[in-house]
């Protein structure tokens, strides 16, 4: 009995997707619920599981093909897989055992010869890797995204070392002739193109304005230092800065509900719940998973959810429901060293809070100049519904909560 493999239902407003990478080839045995192929939309990467066990009889859409919802991409013949030829092969002789390293090297080299899928090509280029040194496990010796991630996690070298005899001691370090100018042209991924589209849409459809303040994070750092080990031991997660900012944001949003609102036609929609998006950087671009009902979450629950979403995003397993429906966003450019920036609103939200690098600066404290761990914070907001007064008071509320974290506990 034959079963069709179809493209799953695509997210709302998405009409087509890119078939990124088959994990099986025609004739391979498959088991039910095994991931057969990855499909990339402009929002998420979808996995297509096998609906039944059997044999992958035919592949109708190859890697890199553009596909639509419910399109048939493969045929599966339900039933038992045919016996592998390897079972009839005689036991390996002693001489053949010595050839295995060479065979592995050939498999290795095959990754260099086969074309790379868009997601694999991005990883290879962004990390300056040589595909020829990465062991390939995909169909027909193709490199898969999992191969590259596994290679990176194992600390693999970016470039193969050149043999000493082929490189004179006086040879220049560059591989191209002096003065050579090169350029590469690669297509945008669907997600990168969508991010670009959303940024332009945000700038053209909102009246964005950014206000700034600065926060002394000495009290927060002291709490983290004092309770870091016991917190991690009890909750099995690190106590980071983001949980303090998320809880402070909820407190400030409750005091200034217009910052948590959005515009729909000529109406202002006030959200009486606090679903905070936390920006996560991945190889595929910036993603913003949403923490639901943050007013009900503990510090440990916030940290665990952020860590879980970050892991899913890096592995390409983030789901559509994970990144939709937020009412406010917090983004941290400080992890990359940013001292100051003006973040862009994530529509239909009306505001976004930007965190930045913590830097010791001379501050006047009780009439004395002291070195304090300071951070600039920025609020970009839609001036159509949020006045400057609300934006400034919101930032002041964030500042007060972080400089005196006890406020978050006793609700003042």
How far is residue 56's CA from residue 373's CA, in Å, rounded to a whole number? 59
Q: Is residue 188 part of a domain?
A: no
- Into how many domains does the chain fold? 3
Domain membership flag for residue 172 = no
Q: Which of 402, 253, 265, 384 is nearest to 326 (CA)?
A: 253
Let me know how long the chain is.
412
Give a yes or no: residue 32 inside a domain: yes
Same domain, 14 and 129: no
Does 83 fall in a domain? no
Q: Is the pTM of this model over 0.75?
A: no
Domain identity same for 203 and 263: yes
Residue 102 domain-assigned (yes or no): yes
> Is 235 among the catalytic positions?
no
Same domain, 154 and 241: no
- Is residue 6 within 8 A of residue 71, CB to CB? The reply is yes
Which one of the listed residues 140, 236, 293, 387 is annotated catalytic?
387
Catalytic annotation, pick one of 235, 383, 390, 404? 383
User: Token digits for 42?
Assistant: 């402009």
- What's the rounded Cα separation, in Å, for the pair 210 and 378? 7
pLDDT digits (tens), the chain, 412 positions: 888 888 887 766 677 888 888 888 888 888 888 888 888 876 677 788 888 888 888 898 888 888 888 888 989 888 765 554 444 444 544 444 444 444 444 444 443 446 676 567 767 777 778 887 888 876 667 777 777 777 776 666 545 444 444 444 444 445 556 666 888 887 777 777 777 888 888 888 899 999 999 999 999 999 999 999 999 999 999 999 999 999 999 999 999 999 999 999 899 999 999 999 998 887 777 789 999 999 999 999 999 999 999 888 878 788 878 888 899 999 999 988 999 999 999 989 999 999 999 999 999 999 999 999 999 999 999 999 999 999 999 999 999 999 999 888 777 6
Interstrand relation of 328-332 and 351-355 (parallel, antiparallel or unpaired): parallel
Residues 39 and 100 in one domain: no
- Domain boundary among the residues 160, 183, 204 is at 160
Q: Which DSSP helix (H) or strand (E) runs through 141?
A: none
> Which single residue is written with the structure tokens 């498999």?
107
In a shared domain, residues 121 and 267: no
Q: Which domain holds residue 63?
A: 2-78
Same domain for 246 and 134, yes or no, is no
Residue 387: active-site member = yes
Phi, psi at 49, each rounded to 5°: -85, 155
């Amino acid at each position: 009995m034959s079963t069709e493999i179809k493209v799953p239902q695509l997210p709302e407003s998405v009409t087509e997707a890119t078939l990124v990478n088959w994990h099986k080839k025609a004739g391979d045995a498959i088991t039910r619920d095994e991931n057969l192929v990855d499909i990339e939309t402009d929002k998420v990467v979808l996995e297509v599981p096998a609906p039944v066990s059997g044999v992958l009889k035919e592949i109708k859409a190859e890697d890199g093909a553009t596909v639509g919802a419910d399109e048939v991409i493969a045929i599966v013949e339900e039933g038992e897989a045919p016996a592998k030829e390897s079972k009839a092969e005689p036991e390996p002789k002693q001489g053949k055992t010595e050839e295995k390293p060479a065979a592995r090297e050939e498999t290795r080299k095959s990754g260099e010869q086969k074309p790379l899928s868009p997601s694999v090509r991005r990883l290879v280029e962004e990390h300056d890797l040589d595909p020829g040194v990465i062991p390939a496990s995909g169909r027909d010796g193709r490199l898969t995204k999992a191969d590259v991630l596994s290679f990176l996690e194992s600390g693999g070298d970016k470039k193969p070392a050149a043999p000493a005899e082929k490189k004179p001691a006086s040879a220049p370090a560059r591989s191209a002739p002096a003065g050579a100018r090169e350029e590469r042209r690669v297509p945008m991924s669907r997600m990168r193109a969508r991010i670009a589209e959303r940024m332009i849409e945000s700038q053209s459809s909102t009246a964005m304005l950014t206000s700034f303040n600065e926060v002394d994070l000495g009290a927060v750092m002291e709490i983290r230092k004092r309770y870091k080990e016991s917190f991690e031991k009890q909750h099995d997660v690190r106590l980071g800065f983001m949980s303090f900012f998320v809880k402070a944001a909820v407190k400030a949003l409750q005091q200034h509900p217009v910052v948590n609102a959005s515009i729909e036609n000529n109406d202002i929609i006030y959200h009486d719940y606090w679903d905070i998006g936390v920006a996560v950087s991945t190889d595929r671009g910036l993603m913003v998973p949403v923490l639901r009902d943050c007013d009900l979450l503990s510090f440990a629950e916030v940290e665990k959810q952020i860590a879980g979403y970050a892991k899913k995003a890096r592995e390409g397993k983030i789901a559509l429901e994970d990144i939709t429906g937020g009412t406010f966003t917090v983004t941290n450019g400080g992890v990359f060293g940013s001292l100051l920036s003006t973040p862009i609103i994530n529509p239909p939200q009306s505001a976004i809070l930007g965190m930045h690098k913590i830097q010791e600066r001379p501050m006047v404290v009780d009439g004395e100049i002291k070195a304090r761990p300071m951070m600039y914070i920025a609020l970009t907001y839609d001036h159509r519904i949020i006045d400057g007064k609300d934006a400034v008071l919101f930032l002041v509320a964030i500042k007060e909560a972080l400089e005196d974290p006890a406020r978050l506990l006793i609700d003042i």
